[in-house]
């Protein structure tokens, strides 16, 4: 999740949040993609997951009580079982959320960065055991000669989180190009000290994935943004996905605006804030919609993005997480892989990633053994965890 420390006048309010009309009454949409790989599991879809079922009713209730605004997809064997849209993408212009509305994915973006690194590893241009100094300049020796690519991918590097630095807030107000964002954040990271000895523990931090984006740039010769556009979005047929800029996000009717609750209790459009920023980066900030993320989930499992062996390597767990690691998940065994979170629930593996930002929350879950994909994209500051957990329980016990 992406979080940063607000400035003196509004810092506490913004930091606390960085962590509803219904379109057609939340009616479903039928859209299908080419089916992914078949498994030995049966084709029966539990009634609780169908339109009008337990999950659909709970989602509608959350939306009706102002606890959810956004879009939701449940897909089995590459085919849509349930798709819903609730709330407004742009309240000022009265634009409702639709199934193809684009949302800021926040930290789900980290999976795209991990895929980019996986492709370079597969091409033998990057080695997981090598240190950062092999590929990037400007780090002190304690980082350049000790922190490995593996440790950065698994948040075990000790690099910390650039979004907590005051310089990052200043940058959000002044950076006006993608290059300024990439270079400005890297400058913050290069001047920060390690928070712990590399390899000794897991501490989730955005600096890790920004550094990986810089590595992709250096090794590939392309900007991070162009590399992901060409080698992730295009190859996965994610035709609407991109790193849209702040000005685009404010004006494009296809993009959902983020709504956060101020200390006074008023819900406001965060895209009007001076801290909205020019563009996201390798740790957060890509935009996508339900159809594109279903295509992405399929591409991860069919070899469209990388060889199956590398997909298996990058999407499976490497570092065990505590049940109390945010968000808490009692009864679930959890790991962090290379840019993907792993959960074992009721004997079934789920991999994907969550995302949180000021005025938004997202989640992508892929169930390789059951051929399910769930996507939840929200554009307000209410938690989506109860929706995520309900879908997981119904799918793994159905």
**Torsion sign (Cα): 7, 12, 18, 20:** negative
**Average pLDDT, stretch 244-261?**
97
The three-class DSSP label of residue 348 is: strand
pLDDT at 20: 30
CA atoms within 13 A on the CB side of 310: 19
- CATH (residue range 11-397): 3.40.710.10
Rounded distance, CA 46 to CA 55, Å? Answer: 11
Tens of pLDDT along 189-237? 999 999 999 999 999 999 999 999 999 999 999 999 999 999 999 999 9
pLDDT category, 314, cuts 50, 70, 90?
very high
Between CA 186 and CA 322 the distance in angstroms is: 30
Q: Is 65 buried (19+), middle (13-18) or exposed (0-12) by CB count in 10 A?
A: exposed
- Predicted local distance difference test score (pLDDT) of residue 329: 77
Q: What angle do CA 100, 342, 344 make, to 5 degrees?
A: 110
In this structure, of 36-40, 104-108, 123-127, 323-327, the range with the lowest mean pLDDT score is: 36-40
Mean pLDDT value of segment 253-265: 94
User: What pLDDT is recorded for position 39?
Assistant: 36
13 phi and psi angles, rounded to 5 deg: -65, -45
Q: Give residue 322's pLDDT band: very low, low, confident or very high (50, 70, 90).
A: confident
What residue segments make up the domains of the chain, in order of their start? 11-397
* Residue 202 CB neighbour total at 10 angstroms: 18
DSSP 8-state code for residue 168: H
Range with lowest mean pLDDT among 28-42, 199-213, 329-343, 369-383: 28-42
3-class SS of residue 92: coil
pLDDT at 343 over 50: yes
Whole-model pTM: value is 0.91
Tell me phi and psi for residue 192, to 5 degrees: -95, 150
What CA–CA distance (Å, rounded) separates 107 from 88?
Answer: 22
């Amino acid at each position: 999740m992406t979080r940063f420390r607000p400035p003196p006048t509004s810092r506490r309010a913004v930091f606390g949040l960085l962590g509803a009309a219904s379109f057609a009454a939340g009616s479903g949409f039928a859209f299908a993609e080419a089916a992914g790989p078949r498994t030995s599991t049966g084709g029966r879809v539990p009634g609780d997951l169908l339109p009008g079922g337990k999950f659909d009713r709970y989602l509608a209730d959350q939306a009706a009580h102002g606890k959810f605004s956004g879009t939701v997809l449940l897909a089995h064997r590459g085919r849509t079982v349930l798709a819903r849209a609730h709330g407004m993408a742009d309240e000022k212009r009265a634009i409702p959320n639709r199934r193809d509305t684009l949302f800021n994915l926040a930290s789900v973006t980290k999976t795209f960065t991990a895929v980019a690194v996986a492709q370079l590893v597969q091409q033998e241009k990057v080695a997981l055991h090598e240190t950062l100094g092999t590929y990037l300049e400007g780090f002190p020796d304690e980082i350049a000669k000790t922190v490995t690519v593996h440790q950065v991918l698994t948040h075990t590097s000790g690099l910390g989180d650039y979004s907590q630095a005051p310089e990052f807030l200043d940058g959000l107000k002044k950076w006006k190009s993608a290059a300024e964002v990439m270079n400005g954040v890297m400058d913050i990271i290069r001047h920060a000290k390690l928070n712990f000895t590399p390899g000794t523990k897991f501490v989730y931090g955005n600096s890790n994935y920004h550094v990986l984006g810089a590595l992709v740039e250096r090794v590939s010769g392309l900007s991070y943004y162009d590399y992901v556009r060409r080698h992730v979005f295009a190859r996965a047929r994610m035709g609407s996905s991109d790193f849209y800029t702040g000005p685009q996000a404010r004006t494009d009717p296809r993009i959902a605006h983020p709504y956060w609750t101020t200390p006074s209790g008023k819900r406001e459009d965060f895209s009007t804030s001076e801290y909205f920023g020019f563009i996201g980066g390798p740790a957060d900030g890509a935009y996508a919609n339900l159809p594109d993320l279903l295509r992405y989930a399929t591409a991860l499992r069919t070899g469209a993005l990388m060889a199956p062996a590398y997909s298996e390597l990058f999407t499976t767990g490497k570092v065990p997480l505590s049940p109390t690691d945010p968000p808490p998940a009692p009864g679930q065994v959890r790991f962090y892989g290379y840019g993907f979170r792993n959960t074992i629930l009721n004997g079934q593996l789920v991999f994907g990633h969550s995302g949180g930002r000021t005025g938004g929350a997202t989640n992508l879950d892929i169930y390789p053994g059951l051929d399910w994909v769930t996507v939840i994209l929200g554009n307000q500051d209410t938690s989506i965890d109860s929706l995520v957990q309900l879908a997981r329980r119904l799918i793994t016990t159905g």
